[in-house]
Amino acid sequence: MLLRDWPMGAALVIAALLGVVLSLWGDSWWRKAVVAAGFPVSFALSLPMLGLGDMPAWVWLLPLGVMLLVYPVNTWADAPLFPTPAKALHALPGFAPLPAGARVLDAGCGLGHGLQALRRAYPKAQFYGIEWSAALRWLCALRLPWARISRGDIWLADWSGYQMVYLFQRPESMPKAVAKAAQELRPGAWMVSLDFEAAQLVPKDSYKASDGKMVWIYKMPFVYARS
- Residue 27: partners with Cβ closer than 8 Å, 6 or more residues away: none
Cα 16 from Cα 178, distance rounded (Å) = 41
Ordered by start, the domain boundaries in the chain are 3-55, 92-224
- pLDDT tens, residue by residue, 152-197: 999 999 999 999 999 998 888 999 999 999 999 999 999 999 999 9
**Mean pLDDT per 10-residue run, the chain (227 residues)?**
59 75 67 71 63 60 58 52 88 98 96 96 98 91 97 95 95 93 98 95 95 95 89
Class of domain 92-224: alpha beta
What residues contact residue 56 under an 8 Å CB cut-off, 6+ apart? none
Burial label, 115 (beta-carbon count in 10 A; 0-12, 13-18, 19+): buried
Whole-prediction pTM? 0.72
Beta-carbon contacts of residue 153 (< 8 Å; ≥ 6 apart): 74, 130, 132
Strands 126-131 and 103-107: parallel
